[in-house]
Amino acid sequence: MKLPYRILALDDDEHALDGITELLRDGGYNVTPVSTYESAKQLVSSESYDLLVTDVHLRGFNGLHLVMQCRRACPEMAVMIMTGYEEPLIELEASRYNAEFMRKPIQPVEFLEGVARALSRVRRQRRWPRKRVVGGFRVKAHGHPAAVMDVSYGGLCLEMSTAMPLPDTFDVEVSGIGLRLEVAPVWASASNRGGSVVCGAALSSDQTPEARTWRTIVDRLTA
């Protein structure tokens, strides 16, 4: 099971924002709607998104400045720029930043096609730093003993003593605290110590209470 694409949608017109959010959610996307430039700027700095959808004119702010920030901080993030004004230069700016351009009022089919085009160019990699866990700690993976070797907000690296076949998703139980995470294996290889397998696994969802507990654990671990 793949994680849904995460989209940050910015529009200071709340009616327009509600419509955009509903369209995207109906399309199966994970959407964070915001109505102010400052809120969007803060989220871009602290969270990970696959696509930014932003209007240009934002009550004294320019959405292109946020696009520039995203291009510097998160170059893999896709961008869609919207405007309800006849501004040929904005369309040129959109092409300069390799962004989709959409005129308002948006047409649902055209809008969703543009979103799909933008996301088709995104590499599905979360931009979460990994933290090495010296010595690892013990868990159960798919019911078998395993050690966690490194962690990130979005997943973990496991060392397992047996080369068992893994399903598309399986549970990882963190001993002693009753935490059970559903993960999806991303890659696996033989350990250089022989007789064991190292597996990288991503959380099936990063929006569950268990995922939030996991992020707290990651923050407290000392590399």
Question: Is pLDDT above 80 for 186?
Answer: no
Question: Is pLDDT above 60 for 127?
Answer: no
Name the packing angle between helices 14-26 and 108-120 (round to 10°): 60
Highest mean pLDDT among 3-12, 31-40, 53-62, 143-152: 31-40
All residues at 6 or more sequence positions from 166 whose CB lies less than 8 Å from its CB, including other chains: 142, 185, 188, 199
Model confidence, pTM: 0.57
SS3 171: strand
Q: What mean pLDDT value characterizes the chain?
A: 85
DSSP for 144-169? EEEEEEEEETTEEEEEESS-----SS
Per the listing, tokens 């694409």 go with 5
For residues 20 and 108, give the distance between their C-alpha atoms in angstroms, rounded to a whole number.
9
Q: Which residue has the higher pLDDT, 126 or 47?
A: 47
Question: Is pLDDT above 70 for 126?
Answer: no
Give me the helices (H) in the chain, please. Answer: 14-26, 37-46, 63-73, 88-96, 108-120, 209-220
For residues 99 and 147, give the distance between their C-alpha atoms in angstroms, rounded to a whole number.
42
Question: Is pLDDT above 80 for 161?
Answer: no
pLDDT for 40: 94
Q: How many CB atoms neighbour CB 26 within 10 A? A: 10
Tokens (6 digits) for 44: 């871009």
Nearest alpha-carbon partner for 206 in 77, 90, 50, 22: 50
pLDDT for 133: 82
Nearest alpha-carbon partner for 81 in 106, 45, 108: 106
- Among the residue ranges 18-27, 122-131, 182-191, 209-218, the one predicted with the least confidence is 122-131
